[in-house]
Amino acid sequence: MSDTLSPTTTDEVLDTVRAAIADEAPLQVLGRGTKAALGRPVAAPRTIQLSGLSGIAYYEPRELVLTAAAGTPLAEIEAALQAEGQHLPFEPCNLDRLLGGEPDAGTLGGAISANLSGPRRFYAGGARDHFLGFEAVSGRGEIFKSGGRVIKNVTGFDLSKLIAGSFGTLGIMTEVSLKVLPAPETTRTLLLPGDDLAAACQYLSAALKSPHAVNGAAHLPAAAAGRSTVGYVAGMRSGVTALRVEGHRPSVEARLAGLRTLFQDIDQTEELHSHNSAKLWREIGKGTLLTQNPESQVWRLSLPPTNAASAIGALSEQMDIEFSADWGGGLLWIAIPAQADAAQAAMFKATEQYGGHATLIRADETVRAAVPVFQPLSPPLMDITGRLKGNFDPHRILNPGKMYKDV
Amino acid sequence: MIVVLPETTQQVADVLRYCSDNGIKVVARGSGTSLSGGALPLADAVMLGLGRFNRITEIDYENRCVVAQAGVANLAISHAVAAEGFYYAPDPSSQIACSIGGNVAENSGGVHCLKYGLTTNNVLGVEFVTVTGEIIRLGGKFQDANGYDLLGLITGSEGLLGVVTEVTVRILRKPETARALLIGFPTTTAAADCVGAVIGAGIIPGGMEMMDRPAIHAAEEFVHAGYPLDVEALLIVELDGPQAEVDYLVTRVSEIAEELGAVSIRLSESEQERESFWAGRKNAFPAIGRISPDYYCMDGTIPRGKLPEVLARMAEMSEKYDLRVANVFHAGDGNLHPLILYDANLPGQLEAAENFGAEILKLCVEVGGVLTGEHGVGVEKRDLMGEMFTEVDLNQQQRVKCSFDPDSLLNPGKVFPTLHRCAELGRVHVHDGKTRFPELPRF
């Protein structure tokens, strides 16, 4: 058990980091810890918890910009946005159903650090695309900032992109600025029945090639669909391909009609209105429907959408898998029975063959210590990664080993 | 200076390896359209021209992306996929000439980026060559980085980190319909209010541009777009999507504009008319070029609500420097392009124009904005970086440079006002003794 430090200001974060450097005592960096089980285990004598750095510092709805302390709960941010009819377009998805921990307790800083984005990712961009700027404390013990509070900015290197998805290994963010957007007035989801994944992928592709601006495109096999709390989804008693359209009401009605025409040969379709749509896409984003086995290990594969069916086919031949597909086929959630090597070789081979990369989302600590959680990088990329780490955190004080053993 | 024009990625790698081994500086160059001197040659450097990287290598409609070599013109990508109803969204005004590799280097924008994003939001992958000649692929036909987001870091790095040879971009289906509203206001404040109110009403137009009186007059005299001449500010608001959505939003935006005191509203009734509305805006720079021997185009971003204040202060500066200024404004995202009119043949005017420009950019930072929204830092704004960043901020950025190019051979002299040696930046200062966190437990 490591000692926990809970700074409440940027200066206190700075002092905590400087003390860690002086004492050669690395820090595990956490927001509220909801994603602590994501990544390799961090062996650190101290934990710095950022939930004390909380609060919205600046929110101008008409500027489409929000700035908040990194430890601000996402729920607080989403509530503030909702009050103004706005939202975070990347649909941050808390993985508490898979990783355990307090439901929906995650922080803004944690969402950015993990760069986890929900179903709208392929259409609206991910967390990294809406991340305008930040202030952070580097592992050198210095406060630095990058980016800004305006939505169009190319001044200097875009360090926001580097920090997003770096899992706290380069700096401890203290303040974050985001681009926000108007929330859609209306949402509709068209449900198409069908168990055949290859056919489902063709539906997804046809929908995404259409001019109807589909911004959610997922396929759930029958078992996964059956777990949905949305009655219409579970009630289809088959695999379900779900297509979402959002926006101003007249536009949504027109585009939904367009989708219905596109898929007029398919019988027994269903349609979800805003409330049920929100429920379903939340379940999909959080990976809630994937498996009911709490012991199974879970992978996420990001790959070219047209290769989804082949990748699933290849993996099913080698082992028992449960899966669901999102992002028009570009994201596969895969659950497998727990095993010592988490079937890493098969997963990495699949992404080598079909493109993209794999991340081990859930496995117990021993497995995550032994198996690469993030797909291994080519030697030149690993060199650059190591040099970046060395330049931001030369003492390896911040989340050492969280992403790669030596980073 | 030596110019090399490689045709293959391997040749680029060979050139870079040779230069790296021999300590020779390299400046990569696409079409040379940078407005900040991003690809300015150096007397003692190899100029690596990417003009021969001019092929679109793959069009993949199923995965909705295009793979193009770095020298392919931005607009050529949209043209290549137009027949199937697709396009590439970022549309910098130089899109007929500027290269996709240069777009990646500069993270270029355009008039549609409020709704569709900048280059960085539309690039899925690149092939790039490091200074030592390693060929690296980042991303591809899939989302998100494996490991650190080096693709995001390379985008907008102004040629300082590596040489991009191939780019994978996402393509979008063209909206079914697009119509433009031309809205005149008696004051710039009313026009700015209208922009805020449209966004406040939950509407993100495909494009939303503002021009002030001098810009309106210059553009109208040049292209005869039918702009009203008796207004202080003109908005072009383009709404795109299905017919039903466009009809609905045209009504709502018109209502908002009327409420806020618009004195003229015109809706494009044909594609031709829509294009003529845009022709004035897109030709604003050459239009200014007709009425002044020289002009200097600036590129700051401000929080939109500060526009009236910034315009008022700019008018004061205009008097102080005795130089006219015309403004075009990507109003949706706060990106301001003041055009300073001067005559380089008159002694002192060039210097005055440059000082005026620098003062405008400092004002942008002062009101909470940034030095450059889409043109890049390059040589032009290099010495202003200290207005926005502390030395610690800039040193941390330069350490990124050191992680890719430790001898600073790639595009040196751009972006950073003072270039430290990497060894110097790598030094670690040990902090000990008094901390400002006395209750911190010491273990």
Chain B residues close to A205, C-beta within 8 Å: 62
Position B436 pLDDT exceeds 90: no
Angle, nearest 10°, between helix axes A197-209 and A308-318? 160
pLDDT at B443: 41
In a shared domain, residues B134 and B202: no
Q: CATH number of the domain at A1-183+377-407, please?
A: 3.30.465.10
Please give, rounded to a whole number of angstroms, the shortest distance from the CA of B345 to a CA of chain A. Answer: 32
| Chain B contact set for A355 (CB, 8 A) | 140-142
When CB atoms are compared, the residue of A146, A152, A158 closest to B109 is A152
pLDDT tens, residue by residue, A35-70: 999 999 999 999 999 999 999 999 999 999 999 999
pLDDT (0 to 100) of residue B424: 85
pLDDT, residue B439, reads 54
Domain boundaries, chain A: 1-183+377-407, 186-286, 297-370
- Residue that finishes a domain, picked among B138, B173, B208: B173
The pLDDT assigned to A91 comes to 95
CB atoms within 10 A of CB A325: 29
CB contact under 8 A, B443 and A145: no
* 8 Å CB contact of A46 and B85: no
Q: Does one domain contain both B183 and B161?
A: no
Residue B72 lies in a domain: yes
Residue B230 neighbours by CB distance under 10 Å: 10
Rounded to the nearest 10°, the torsion over CA A167, A181, B206, A165 is: 0
Mean pLDDT of the region B101-125: 95
Equal fold, A1-183+377-407 vs A297-370: no
CB contact under 8 A, B437 and A258: no
Q: How many CA atoms lie within 13 A of B261 on its CB side?
A: 12
Q: Summarize pLDDT for B309-366 with one digit per residue, the tens.
A: 999 999 999 999 999 999 999 999 999 999 999 999 999 999 999 999 999 999 999 9
Please tell me whether residues B167 and B199 are part of one structural domain: no
Model confidence band, residue B429 (pLDDT cutoffs 50, 70, 90): low
How distant is the Cα of A296 from the closest Cα of chain B, in angstroms? 23
Q: Residues of A with CB below 8 A from B372's CB? A: 153-155
Q: Using CA atoms, how far apart are residues B118 and B90, in angstroms rounded to an integer?
A: 6
Contact A374 B85 (CB under 8 A): no
Q: What is the pLDDT of residue A93?
A: 85
Q: Which of A128, A116, A135, A244 is nearest to A187 (CA)?
A: A244
Ranges of residues in chain A whose predicted pLDDT is under 50: none
Specify the residue for token string 């620098």.
B358
Mean pLDDT of chain B: 93
Least CA distance to A162: which residue of chain B?
B149
CATH number of the domain where residue B304 is located: 3.30.70.2740
Among B437, B439, B442, most A C-beta atoms within 10 A, so best to mutate, is B437
User: Alpha carbon B132 to chain centroid distance?
Assistant: 29
> How high is the pLDDT of residue B143?
96
B10 and B85 in a single domain? The answer is: yes
- Residue B421: pLDDT band with limits 50, 70, 90: confident
Pairing outcome for strands B2-4 and B45-49: parallel
For range B27-32, the mean pLDDT: 96
Q: Are residues B156 and B229 in the same domain?
A: no
Is the pLDDT assigned to residue B145 strictly greater than 90?
no
Element (H, E) at A149: none
Whether B161 and B50 map to the same domain: the answer is yes
C-alpha to C-alpha distance for A250 and A374, rounded to whole angstroms:
43
The tens digit of pLDDT for each residue in A62-121 reads: 999 999 999 999 999 999 999 999 999 999 988 988 998 888 889 999 999 999 999 999
C-alpha A64/C-alpha A66 separation (Å) is 7
Report the C-alpha gap between A23 and B443 in whole angstroms.
Answer: 8
From B239, B263, B286, give the residue that closes a domain.
B286
User: Could you count the other beta carbons within 10 Å of the beta carbon of residue B255?
Assistant: 11
Which of B106, B302, B426 lies nearest to residue A154, judging by beta carbons? B106
- Give the 3-state secondary structure of residue A382: helix
In whole angstroms, give the CA distance from residue B65 to residue B88: 9
Q: Is residue B217 part of a domain?
A: yes
So what's the pLDDT on residue A75?
95
Q: Tokens 């391909």 label which residue?
A: A241
In the sheet where A56-60 sits, what is the strand order? A56-60, A65-69, A171-179, A131-138, A143-147
Q: Which residue has the higher pLDDT, B267 or B420?
A: B267
A297-370, what's its fold?
Alpha-Beta Plaits (3.30.70)
Instruction: Give chain A positions within 8 Å (CB) of B373.
Output: 150, 152-154
**Residue B326: inside a domain:** yes
Please report which confidence band the pLDDT of residue B428 belongs to, taking 50, 70 and 90 as the band edges: low
Q: Name the residue range of residue B80's domain.
A: 2-173
Shared domain check, B63 and B10: yes
3-state secondary structure of A359: strand
- B376/A145 Cβ within 8 A: no
Instruction: Please indicate if any CB of chain B lies within 8 Å of the CB of A152.
Output: yes
Contact assignment for A63 to B146 by CB distance below 8 Å: no
First to last CA, chain B: 59
User: Do the domain assignments include residue B441?
Assistant: no
Quote the minimal CA–CA distance from A248 to chain B in Å: 7
Show which of residues 57-76 on chain B sit within 8 Å of chain A, judged by CB atoms: 60-64
Average pLDDT over residues B189-197: 94
**Residue B440, pLDDT above cutoff 70:** no
Identify the helix (H) or strand (E) that includes residue A257: helix A249-262
User: Of B174, B396, B435, which has the smallest distance from its Cβ to A144's Cβ?
Assistant: B396
From B165, B127, B121, B137, select the one nearest A352 (Cα to Cα).
Answer: B137
Question: Residue B382 gets which letter from DSSP?
Answer: G
Torsion angle (degrees, nearest 10) of CA A203, A209, A211, A213: 70
Residue labelled with tokens 């929900």: A118
- Alpha helix (H) ranges present in B182-223? 188-200, 213-223
pLDDT recorded at residue A104? 81
**Looking at beta carbons, which residues of chain A come within 8 Å of B394?**
156
Which residues 161-190 of A have a C-beta within 8 angstroms of B?
161-162, 164-166, 170, 181-183, 185
Determine how many CB atoms are found less than 10 A away from the CB of residue B297: 15
In the predicted model, what is the mean pLDDT of residues B180-206? 95
Report yes or no: B36 and B411 within 8 Å, Cβ to Cβ. Answer: no
Last residue of a domain, one of B219, B254, B286: B286
- Looking at beta carbons, which residues of chain B come within 8 Å of A251? 241-242, 244-245, 248
Residue among A395, A361, A370 at smallest CA distance from A169: A395
Say how far apart CA A121 and CA A123 lie, in whole Å. Answer: 5
| CATH code of the domain covering residue B136 | 3.30.465.10
Per DSSP, the three-state class of B165 is: strand
Same domain, B184 and B166: no
Q: Is B416 helix (H, G, I), strand (E, B) or coil?
A: coil
The confidence score (pLDDT) of residue A1 equals: 52
Flag whether pLDDT at B163 surpasses 90.
yes
Contact criterion met (CB < 8 Å) for B390 and A208: no
B437 neighbourhood in chain A, CB within 8 Å? 7, 11-12, 15-16, 19
Q: What is the ipTM of this complex?
A: 0.97
A133 shares contact with chain B (CB less than 8 Å)? no
A251-255 long-range contacts, Cβ below 8 Å, gap at least 24?
A251/B241, A251/B242, A251/B244, A251/B245, A251/B248, A252/A184, A252/A185, A252/A186, A252/A187, A252/A188, A253/B244, A254/B242, A254/B243, A254/B244, A254/B245, A255/A212, A255/A213, A255/A214, A255/B242
Per-residue confidence (pLDDT) for residue B111, from 0 to 100: 85
Q: Does CATH number 3.65.10.10 belong to domain A186-286? A: no
CA distance B259 to A57: 32
Nearest chain B Cα to A307, which residue?
A: B63
Helices and strands per DSSP (H, E), number in chain B: 15, 18
Residue B280 lies in a domain: yes
Q: Does B383 touch chain A (CB under 8 A)?
A: no
Tell whether B161 and B15 lie within a shared domain.
yes
- Tally of structural domains, chain B: 4
Domain CATH number, residue B197: 3.30.70.2190
Q: Which residues pair with B141 in a beta bridge?
A: none
Q: Quick one: pLDDT at residue B164?
A: 98
Q: What DSSP state is assigned to residue B73? A: B
Picking from A85, A355, A391, the nearest residue to B402 by CB comes out as: A391
Question: In this structure, what are the phi and psi dihedrals at residue B28, rounded to the nearest 5 degrees?
Answer: -85, 150
Q: Are residues B144 and B218 in the same domain?
A: no
Same domain, B168 and B66: yes
Whether B274 contacts B179, CB under 8 Å: yes
User: What totals of helices (H) and strands (E) does chain A contain, helices first?
Assistant: 15, 18
B319, HSE (Cβ side, Cα atoms, 13 Å): 5
Asked whether residue B226 falls in the same domain as residue B271, the answer is yes
Q: Chain B, 387-416: which have a CB under 8 Å from a chain A CB?
A: 388-390, 392-394, 396-397, 399-404, 415
| The pLDDT value given to residue A260 | 97
CB B117 within 8 A of CB B90: yes
Q: Which residues pair with B136 in a beta bridge?
A: B128
Q: Can you say how many angstroms the Cα of residue B100 is from the centroid of all Cα atoms in its chain?
A: 13
State the Cα–Cα distance between residues A6 and A14, nearest whole angstrom: 12
